[in-house]
Amino acid sequence: MIVASLQVVADAWPAGMLVLVSLFGLAIGSFLNVVIARVPAGRSLVRPGSACPGCSAPLAWYDNIPVLSFFVLRGRCRACGMAISWRYPVVEAVTAAALVLAYVALGPTAEFVVAGVLLPTLIVITAIDLQHQLIPDAITLPGILAGLLLNLATGRISWVESVIGILLAGGLFLAIILASRGGMGGGDLKFGAMLGAFLGWKALLFALFVAVVSGGVLGIALLASGLRGRKDPIPFGPFLAAGGAMALFWGARVVGWYVSGFGG
């Protein structure tokens, strides 16, 4: 039903779909900022309404327009002049850009529907993990169910592939956690299982490969440069998110190509 509706709108208004997707992405990005600020603190996403963290002045609707309001206000609260974090317009713009690129690459398909849910989730997890070294269960556990149900509803991949992806990621990360004796957290395990639910086990393998390689390279570079010590934590969530985003577009294709190469 969702895919069919997208196709109807795309056929009737092809150029306008990019506008709709970008506006939708900006709105979702604005909501993601609420999630980033409130979920780690255990606060409600609904109440109270948006307000300045410095003076608690409620934000009027015209001061809460994604990206635009930040520049109109010159990055400061209208009431008290407190600086507004650049995270807000960056998250909004990145979310909009990610969804537009996904639409251009995938079109009005089941893959785009899945991307429309997964990509914003990867963005919010990345922002929270970078800031708090935390991947909240409140995002990943519902995300596992959402990935499974979305694939079941759209037929993008079979539910069997999705379940195998969940179990595969969970098993691999559990083994790493036990072997590292706490060097990796349970949040990464649940995040990996969420990726398995969305991507299926084939694309998951590609996502994990990208995450491990990119995380290892950056980790070595940080240690060699002295910017991080051996005992300094380096969040793994952003690398998993990058791997998940790449796998969404190319994962199954790359794994299929790799396997077919060995098959002769």
Average pLDDT, the chain: 89
Residue 251 makes CB contacts below 8 A (sequence gap 6+) with 199, 202, 203, 204, 205, 206, 207
- CA-to-CA distance for 234 and 125, rounded, in angstroms? 15
pTM above 0.85, yes or no: yes
- pLDDT-wise least confident of 42-56, 65-79, 215-229: 215-229
Domain that holds residue 259: 111-264
Question: 83 has which bridge partners?
Answer: 76
* Mean pLDDT value across residues 138-155: 95
At position 101, the amino acid (one-letter code) is L
Give the DSSP letter of residue 60: P
State pLDDT tens for residues 191-248: 999 999 999 999 999 999 999 999 889 888 888 887 777 777 788 999 999 999 999 9
Q: In this structure, are 126 and 251 located in the same domain?
A: yes
Number of structural domains found in the chain: 2
- CA-to-CA distance for 7 and 109, rounded, in angstroms? 8
Q: In this structure, are 137 and 62 located in the same domain?
A: no
Q: What is the DSSP string of 183-209?
A: SS-HHHHHHHHHHHHHHHHHHHHHHHH
Reported as a pLDDT band with limits 50, 70 and 90, residue 93 is very high
- Predicted confidence at residue 240, as pLDDT, reads 96
> SS3 string of 85-148?
CCHHHHHHHHHHHHHHHHHHHHCCCHHHHHHHHHHHHHHHHHHHHHHHCCCCHHHHHHHHHHHH
- Predicted confidence at residue 182, as pLDDT, reads 65
- Predicted confidence at residue 1, as pLDDT, reads 62
Q: In this structure, are 127 and 53 located in the same domain?
A: no
The token duo for 160 is 């069997």
- Predicted confidence at residue 125, as pLDDT, reads 97
Q: In this structure, are 138 and 196 located in the same domain?
A: yes
- Predicted confidence at residue 184, as pLDDT, reads 75
Q: In this structure, are 259 and 129 located in the same domain?
A: yes
Q: In this structure, are 116 and 3 located in the same domain?
A: no
- Structural domain ending residue among the three candidates 61, 91, 108: 108
